[in-house]
Structure 1
Amino acid sequence: MSHFTTKNDYIELSPALNEDDEPPDIRRDQYSLEGKRSASIHRASMEALLEEATHLEPNPASHPWRLIVQSLPSLIISLIGLVVAGVLMDEYQHWQVFVNTSELFILLPILLNLKGNLEMILASRFSTSANMGELDYGSSRKSLMLGNLALLQVQALVAGAIAGLASFALGVLTRPDTGGSYYESVYMTACSMVSASFSSAILGVFMCALILICRQYRINPDNIACPLASATGDVVTLILLAGCAMILQDHMETLMSTFVFLSMLLAVPFFGVIVWRNKRIKQLLFAGWTPIVIAMVISSLAGVVLEHYVEKYKGIALLTPVLIGVAGNLGSIYVSRISTCLHQDTEEDYASVERALFLMNIPVQAIFLLIIWAFNMGDLDYNFWFFLTYMMVNLICTFICLKVGKWMTLSFWKMGYDPDNYVIPYLTATIDAIGTVLLVATFSLLTSSGASNMQMPAQPTN
């Protein structure tokens, strides 16, 4: 099989990872005049080959069945992760640490949204680097891995600080009678930053290793990286947040939380310097923050809607994360694939890929419905109308997510922005809002029409 370079991009699709060589684009700067002449002749030959290659049959690696075989297991794993995260959140609400500090429940969705976006951005960006051949050489691979991991730490620490302060402020605004102290604000921020930093370190290394393994075995990481990042990220972050909150709560009225907070704060410039000295990553240090913050605001508004109706309709808290999570994962796969094609100057088979991703959603959601029905989770009224309306809302959300993801990716590329760094936060926040509103509207329609009783039973009064 032949592989080609386009424009100034080097694409090496060999599964062998070279430890000592440098990519040709680095060595090209060291060419003599004679070498440059040879390179010109070589480029002319490659252009002729590319012209001839346009008449070849499509690469079998881009076949929809290849996409389904690679993506479906990762989507099922992400579904299991979403269910486990939901079970953990349901369990945590009874823990003493969460009862004593109710702001931790406000922190959870904000932190998970921020962290999820960071990990999926890393997965998308690193997948593009893998498919561009930038990870096939020891020097560039090491530089990209260290730079991306350091950048992820900067983003996680800043995002953790924002999430911690925002949750404390929202807690004070929604429950002004409880007041708020300095110790509590530092406690919330420290818990958020520690859990964000450690989970990013664990998941960052995991994602880098996963993508390198995919590259080694000729698996397209665009098809699996984002769903796995989403699935593992929520569970790991939840466990770390609960553990950190339990440890620090015993010392809330001391300066321990302040010491932890300052230590995390000092780590930001440390990792920032590492990123700044990395010529491959430094331009990302100040890029991509706007979509992350805007996505947090949009998702928080969706969370307000969800919180308003979670005590009114049964199963909302169980169904919403899976509904929007699976749709978001499918959209992220599509965005990651399109972005790679744009970087490679190749064409994505939009119709086939959209159809494959859309149809994959059906068995994944069917497995989810089977699980919650078998274990009677959510105390839902399981009848034909419930299953029908949920699947309809699910398919609508997936369709919107795929179409909006494609439009956003192409639009950001035309405006000169790298879709890997900008699209996923906007896309996931959009589907958060749309999915939540549609599910609430559907439950309201089912209840009012008498087709299915989704009304939460009235609480007994003392």
Structure 2
Amino acid sequence: MSNGHDDFEPIDGVNDIQIPQSTTVDHLIVEGNNNNITGDTLSNVIVENWIFAPIAVTIQKMNVSKPTHVFNIAEKESKKQFFAEALIPFLFAGLGLILAGVMLESAEGSEFFTTLPDAVIMVPTLVGLKGNLEMTLSSRLSTLANLGFMESRRDKLNVAISNMALIQCQAIAVSSLAVIPVLIVGEKPITAGDTLCLLLSAVVTASLASFILSLLMVAVVIAARHWNLNPDNISTPVAASLGDVSTLYILLTVGTLVCHMRDLHITLLIVILICFLIIAIVGALMAQKDRFTLEVLKNGWWPILCAMVITTLSGLVLKKSMQAYPPLAAFQPLINGLGGNLVAVQASRISTQLHRARKNREVEVKPLHHYIDPIRAFFGKNEDASAAQILIGISVPSNIIFIFIIFLIGVGFHNTTPFTISFVLVCAIQVTVLLYICQILVRAMWIMRIDPDNSAIPFLTALGDLFGSLLLILCFWNQWKYFGLPVSADQYTGHKFGH
């Protein structure tokens, strides 16, 4: 084009479209008539280039037509329905996170962590990586389903194969970097054999966990659409219910097996590692054949890598805090996992709204300062506030139930009313802050032409991990300092969680 819009791409075959006025930075622009876009008959509609194009923009560039009778939150989903759909998966997620806490606290004496004690630094990184990949997959699949791109059997199969291939590529590539923090900040010298064990353990864990959870995500989204449920509300908590515990179990099992094999079959370990790297390459080749996953393959790395840096800080915090307050390990997966799940549900819902508005050529985003007001975020008459109220309302009583279950299993000290109040309070603070950041960040990314489906959730969950870990340390320090709770290392009885 030669009219000053060289940065834009035309949508072939789109003519005579009525487009309402849009206040977002990312509105559609008319060639040759940029001063009037309200209600006019338009031709040569063009779309801006995006730094990281979302699904709705990819759909416009593909110039495809899908059924208009897709799930619409504003028309079909009541507050009661959202509450019911989110509550049950959230409770299952909490039970899964409690089980992950059991495993993490007991894992302190496992052979893998005894042989390579600095490997504990990788735990939040791998668990966070798994969470980021599965939550972005969940959000991406939910958006495709809600826009009508998972209706036929062929569509479902194509979406499943391309997205699972993409997840394998991302999981293997990014998990290979999880060893770097251990090498840099580990307290004990690490040999080449130790490095190989850590690297292979991380890669195999990420690959297997991602494969299992990707299958689960595809099944959940398809089932949700079949039963006319909103997958945005269900898929993320379902993944969390098995994600953390399966990742920890695979890491401990694979890590122990690899440590046994390294003295006898070091060459075999190298061959296995090369095989997984080949799987990553094949996954990339398969993912690039699909327009939706191609965009993620090209531009979706930096959010995951940035989130990994943040979760690495959480790993350092976790290691130090477990040394100072050993029982803290039992609660760490719970506070971090539940906060991340709730904010991921909100981010996925907002992202789907933006995609639907783009697809329907409606107003997408108001000026960003409109979303800064916390009154609007939590008490306004809008979908964001309604969802935030429900999510916080689910969080508080659920955490009381989860604390009761943890102490029923046994954690080495007796529960007290001040501890329960303190823990529930820090959980509520974490969720509230994350929900407030979420409704700004998702729209800010959209305005900056960055796909929030694949970019916002990794940042939000990583911030949730770091913020939750710091708040949990504050909770334990407060209870030890001012209420005499025996949770410090010198007071702890050595009781193992669940024993």
Which category describes the TM-score, using the shorter chain as reference length? 0.7 to 0.9
Where 2:151 maps in the other structure, the secondary structure is coil
Where 1:457 maps in the other structure, the secondary structure is coil
Where 2:292 maps in the other structure, the secondary structure is coil
Task: Supply the distance in 2 between the matched residues of 1:95 and 1:29 (Cα, whole angstroms).
Answer: 54
Task: Supply the distance in 2 between the matched residues of 1:421 and 1:235 (Cα, whole angstroms).
Answer: 24
Per-residue CA deviation, residues 152-210 of structure 1 (Å, 9 max, x unaligned), is 01001112211134434443xx21xxx33222212211121112112211111111011
Task: Supply the distance in 2 between the matched residues of 1:437 and 1:6 (Cα, whole angstroms).
Answer: 51
Task: Supply the distance in 1 between the matched residues of 2:310 and 2:138 (Cα, whole angstroms).
Answer: 22
Question: Identity over the aligned pairs, expressed in percent?
Answer: 27
Gaps of 5+ in 2: 1-16, 20-26, 28-58, 365-381, 494-499
Q: For 1:149-188, list aligned pairs within 5 A.
A: 149-171=164-186, 174-175=187-188, 179-188=189-198
Aligned to 1:316: 328
Instruction: Choose which of 79, 88, 106 in structure 2 pairs with 1:91.
Output: 106
- 2:85/2:229 contact within 8 Å kept: yes
TM-score (norm 2): 0.76
The Cα shift of 1:29 comes to 6.8
State yes or no: 1:271 paired with 2:258: no
Instruction: Choose which of 384, 396, 406 in structure 1 pairs with 2:417.
Output: 384
State yes or no: 1:393 paired with 2:426: yes
Where 2:218 maps in the other structure, the secondary structure is helix
For CA contacts below 8 A with separation 6 or more, give which structure has more relative contact order.
2
Aligned residues: 412
Moved over 6 A (4+): 5-8, 24-30
CA distance 1:188–1:442, shift in 2 (3 Å): closer
Q: For 1:300-315, list aligned pairs within 5 A.
A: 300-313=312-325, 315=327
The Cα shift of 1:459 comes to 7.4
Amino acid at match of 1:440: I
Aligned to 1:198: 208
Structure ranking higher in helix proportion: 1
Task: Supply the distance in 2 between the matched residues of 1:92 and 1:104 (Cα, whole angstroms).
Answer: 11
Q: For 1:10-49, list aligned pairs within 5 A.
A: none
Gaps of 5+ in 1: 9-23, 31-45
State yes or no: 1:105 paired with 2:120: yes
Per-residue CA deviation, residues 381-421 of structure 1 (Å, 9 max, x unaligned), is 42221111112111111111111111111111111111110
The Cα shift of 1:316 comes to 1.7
Task: Supply the distance in 1 between the matched residues of 2:63 and 2:322 (Cα, whole angstroms).
Answer: 60
Aligned to 2:305: 293
CA distance 1:319–1:95, shift in 2 (3 Å): closer
The Cα shift of 1:128 comes to 0.7
Task: Supply the distance in 2 between the matched residues of 1:63 and 1:76 (Cα, whole angstroms).
Answer: 20
Where 1:417 maps in the other structure, the secondary structure is coil
Aligned to 1:343: 355
Per-residue CA deviation, residues 92-134 of structure 1 (Å, 9 max, x unaligned), is 3323233222243222222111111111110111111111111
Instruction: Choose which of 210, 228, 247 in structure 1 pairs with 2:238.
Output: 228
Where 1:425 maps in the other structure, the secondary structure is helix
Aligned to 1:127: 142
The Cα shift of 1:240 comes to 2.0
CA distance 1:65–1:282, shift in 2 (3 Å): same
- 2:407/2:414 contact within 8 Å kept: no
Q: For 1:298-447, list aligned pairs within 5 A.
A: 298-313=310-325, 315-345=327-357, 349-375=383-409, 377-447=410-480
- 1:385/1:451 contact within 8 Å kept: no
TM-score (norm 1): 0.82
Per-residue CA deviation, residues 232-257 of structure 1 (Å, 9 max, x unaligned), is 12122222222222332222132111
- 2:233/2:345 contact within 8 Å kept: yes
Task: Supply the distance in 1 between the matched residues of 2:485 and 2:250 (Cα, whole angstroms).
Answer: 39
- 1:115/1:159 contact within 8 Å kept: no
Aligned to 2:86: 71
Per-residue CA deviation, residues 360-393 of structure 1 (Å, 9 max, x unaligned), is 1022101111112323x32234222111111211
Where 2:93 maps in the other structure, the secondary structure is helix
- 1:150/1:271 contact within 8 Å kept: yes
Please say which of residues 295-304 and 403-412 is displaced more in the overlay.
295-304
Where 2:94 maps in the other structure, the secondary structure is helix
Amino acid at match of 1:204: S
CA distance 1:453–1:416, shift in 2 (3 Å): same
- 1:183/1:257 contact within 8 Å kept: no
After superposition, the CA RMSD in angstroms is 2.9
The Cα shift of 1:338 comes to 0.6
The Cα shift of 1:444 comes to 2.4
